[in-house]
Structure formats: structure tokens, C-alpha cells
Amino acid sequence: MPIRLFDSLSRDYRELRPAQPDGLFRFYNCGPTVYAPAHIGNFRTFVVNDLLRRLLELEFGKDKVKHVRNLTDVDDKTIRRAREEGRPLAEVTRQWTEKFHADCAALNCLPPHVEPAATGHIPEQIDMIAALERRGHAYRTEDGSVYFKVSSFPGYGALSRVKERELRVGSAISGKPQTHDADEKEDGSDFALWKGHKPDDGDTFWPAPWGRGRPGWHIECSAMSKKHLGDTIDLHTGGVDLLFPHHENEIAQSQCCNGTPFALHWYHSEHLLVDGKKMSKSLGNLYTLDQIKEMGHSPSALRYALLAGHPRKQLNFTLDSLHAAEKALAQLRAFRASLAPGGTADPFGPALAALQDDLNTPHALGLIFTTLHAGPAGIAPAAFERILFALGLDLTEALKPVANTPPEVTALAEQRWAAKNAKNWAEADRLRGAIADLGWSMLDRKDGYTLEPAKK
Ligand code: AMP
Ligand code: ZN
């Protein structure tokens, strides 16, 4: 079954397939702004994109998917943070990039094939801005900035239908530019391609034909997707807040520069909420992965909780959802331990099909648990592994902290965990003794266990 996904541009469900004859599926996902730890709302978006990446690999083959996710390592927020801390910009963004990588790994997200950083692609961005200027889509202002002239691109607003919205509130009819800031835009909807250097930017600037400065946020994604995926890509994704203006502006820049369609499919996942409000740094209502771990929950439980809601519906985050996730993971673990090697049946086809049908994770999880309740008899362990891979659920997570655990100890621990989940206390005690005889102790947690060398 092909993957079918809602497309924000055509507002319809469409099948995903590579458009180019080389059969490579080109996938661009807007990445994080690296000035602080990403919150679990951000991670909802990245986990959903990781699910997509895994489904694409299962569908087209591991080497037929190219996944690019950028790092926004220069913008107002990163510069402000570096200034406040009195540290070089590159040092601040390196710190938060490393933290982002560690959190992604803990959440079992596959790393993208290319992770370009905005500061590593300044010449590409300058080239694109110069091309836009040559073609009459951009103009310079006195302060050394360059703006995109929105009125030069008739297709503007197709993704967000922003023109209709503007017309409804009457601002466009009045003909007054909607200028909120003291810049020199010709029209309120024009946006910066290049920002002329200001004293607040300190030593963060690059030379350019129109004066020193730094690129605008939108041009970085247009330039980096062009560089790493070419002029036309198969799928472009991000959280729903990026739809306007970021993605609308990317389309305008890329299509006016390249003269070809930019992204053939647009997908936007919905927000994670806390108490009915969007989780965001500005509202201060956020949780980080570290805070979740400090509360005694595992990254796997968070991943599960983030996947439990339909990605195109808002999800209200609660601590109860983490408890439910831990229970579900324990059941999955026990089921895995009870699968016999000789099984050949694959009852997980419908669950995979649910994922392929617009990432319907709640339906898929429901189907998986129906299968679990029917019992493990005859089921191929590989079939279970495949659906776990699709969801990115790492059931061995609790074992990870001790890398040098002997395999026979791990095997006994898995058996004991299964016995405990089956409430077979006598067997669980026997296995604990067998583990101790090998010099290890098994510590039970809510959602799994850890193994440590026994204290002498
Ligand atoms: P940022 O680091 O702010 O550029 O955001 C990284 C990604 O997280 C973007 O795709 C955003 O759309 C997404 N995002 C931001 N807030 C939330 C939220 N509360 N829930 C889900 N995704 C979010
Ligand atoms: Zn982007």
C-alpha cells in the first residue's frame, strides 16, 4: 500500500512517490533554531517526521530516501542569546546543536542524511538573493538590506491563502502597507532576504554585493534544500506554525529563482498543547526532555505519548499520558519476550497500513494492542520488529546505560522482565538469582529495568 498523506497545498490526500527518474525520494524537514533546549512540543514535530522517514524507508528502500533537516544557527534569537551570554555565536549554537542531537538520539530519531547549517551556506544564499534581484523579484534598501517583492510573484498565498485572509480583514483593500516595524519595505508583506548589519548584530555579519549583513530566515531553507536536494523536492514538512509566512516565503523565493515547482507535497503536523495552550518558549509553559527524565519517565515513554495522538490534531500533553505510555511499553516488551522463534505469521499489516494512511498513529496502536491481546502464538518475531521499527519504539532502552552487559545476562533479564509482567513471581525470583550468580543486579523501574554490576 502506498503512503497517503494530507497535502497542505492542494488540501487533499495524495500518494507519496519519488518524482524523479532516479527513484530517490527527496524529503526536507525544517529543523530547530539552536539557542536553547528544544521543548517536547518541538520534539512532537521531529518525532512525527521521524515516523515519516521510517515509513518512507520501508516503502522505497533505505537507500532511496534522502532526508535533509537544517539547523537555524543564525537569526535574531541566536544572536540575542549569544549577546546576553557574552559568548561567540558559534559556541552557543554548537552547545544547543549537541544537546539537540543527544535528545534526538534518546528519542530514537534517525539522524537526517544531511544536516546543513545556515552559517555553512552563506554563498549559496547570496547566490539565490542575487538571482532574485536580477529577475526583478528583490530590491535593496538604504540600510543595506534586500527584500523580496511579494507583488512580483502572482502565486504568493497559494499555500496559506493569505491573500484571501488579508482581503477579508480589509487591509489590502485600503492599500496601506502593513508596516509594523521601522524598516524600509515598499510593502508590508515584503520580507527580508538579507538583513543589513545593525550594531546589535555585533561581529555576526558576512560580506555581500549589497553590503555586509546576514541572511533572512526564509532564504536559508530555500538555499539549503536547493543545494542538497535540487530545485524540486518530493516532500517538505514542518510544524503548522511554519506554514505562514515561512513556507509561503520559501515557495516564493525558490520558484522565482529556479523557475520550477519547489515542493510537490507539503505536510504540517499540529502542535503539542499544555492546558489548551501551544507549548512555546515565549509562554514559558514548556517541558524539556531532561525535565521529563527527572520526573522518572523514559524517553521511550515520551516518544510513545507523542505518537499516541493523530499528528494532524492538536495533542494536549499530560503526565497521565506518560504513565499510560509506560504501561503500553511494558506490555509490548512482555509480548516481545513471549514470541517464539519459529513463528511465521504477520498480523501487523493493518497497523502498518494505518500508519501509511496519513500517519494514523492512534488507529495503528489500537490495532497493535488488539493483536497483543489475541496472544503471541505463531507470530513471526520479525513481523513485530518491523512495526516497532516503523514507530521507532525502542523496547531495549532501559538496557542502554550499561554497554558492556554480557549477552547471557541481558537474555536472563529479558526473561525475568517477561515473567514479572506475566505475574510469574516464582520464576522472576529464580531468574533474579541467576542474574546475581553472574555478578549483576537487575533494578526494576516503572517502565523497564536497568542492569548494574553487583556491588561486592
Ligand atoms: P523552532 O526551533 O522554533 O524553529 O521549531 C522547530 C519545530 O518545532 C518547527 O517545525 C515548529 O513548527 C515546531 N514546533 C514549535 N512549537 C511546537 C509545539 N508546541 N508543538 C509541536 N511542534 C512545535
Ligand atoms: Zn524552513
- pLDDT tens digits along 435-444: 999 888 888 7
The model's confidence at residue 176, banded by pLDDT at 50, 70 and 90, is very low
* Residues 125, 122: Cα–Cα separation, whole Å: 5
Q: Residue 322 forms beta bridges with which residues?
A: none
Q: Residue 66 forms beta bridges with which residues?
A: 26
The verdict on the CB of residue 242 being under 6 Å from ligand 1 is yes
Residue entry with cell 535574531: 76
Over residues 281-295, mean pLDDT: 90
Q: What is the mean pLDDT of the chain?
A: 92
* Residues 127, 136: Cα–Cα separation, whole Å: 14
**Which one of 39, 45, 289 would you pick to mutate in the ligand 1 pocket, going by the greatest count of ligand atoms within 8 A of its CB?**
45
The predicted structure's pLDDT at residue 164: 59
The model's confidence at residue 304, banded by pLDDT at 50, 70 and 90, is very high
The verdict on the CB of residue 236 being under 6 Å from ligand 1 is no
* pLDDT at 134 > cutoff 80: yes
Question: DSSP characters for 16-68?
Answer: ----STT--EEEEE---B-SSPPBHHHHHHHHHHHHHHHHHHHHH-GGGEEEE
* pLDDT at 51 > cutoff 60: yes
The predicted structure's pLDDT at residue 299: 96
Over residues 60-76, mean pLDDT: 98
* Residues 330, 393: Cα–Cα separation, whole Å: 12
In this structure, the strands spanning 235-239 and 266-269 are parallel
The verdict on the CB of residue 315 being under 6 Å from ligand 1 is no
Local structure of residue 73 (DSSP, 8 states):
-
Q: Which of 48-52, 174-178, 294-298, 387-391 has the lowest mean pLDDT?
A: 174-178
The predicted structure's pLDDT at residue 399: 45
CA dihedral 82, 85, 91, 95 (to 10 degrees): -100
Strands ordered across the beta sheet of 25-29: 65-69, 25-29, 235-239, 266-269
* pLDDT at 182 > cutoff 70: no
Asked if residue 5 lies in contact with residue 14, where contact means CB atoms within 8 angstroms, the answer is: yes
- pTM score: 0.86
Local structure of residue 141 (DSSP, 8 states):
-
DSSP SS3 for 117: strand
The verdict on the CB of residue 41 being under 6 Å from ligand 1 is yes
Residue entry with cell 518475531: 381
* Residues 263, 243: Cα–Cα separation, whole Å: 13
* Nearest ligand 1 atom, CA 29: 10
Q: Which amino acid belongs to residue 395?
A: L
* pLDDT at 220 > cutoff 90: yes
The verdict on the CB of residue 398 being under 6 Å from ligand 1 is no
Distance 100 CA to ligand 2 centre (A): 17
Over residues 53-74, mean pLDDT: 98
Distance 421 CA to ligand 1 centre (A): 37
The predicted structure's pLDDT at residue 375: 96
Joined grid coordinates for residue 432 = 533474579
The predicted structure's pLDDT at residue 91: 98
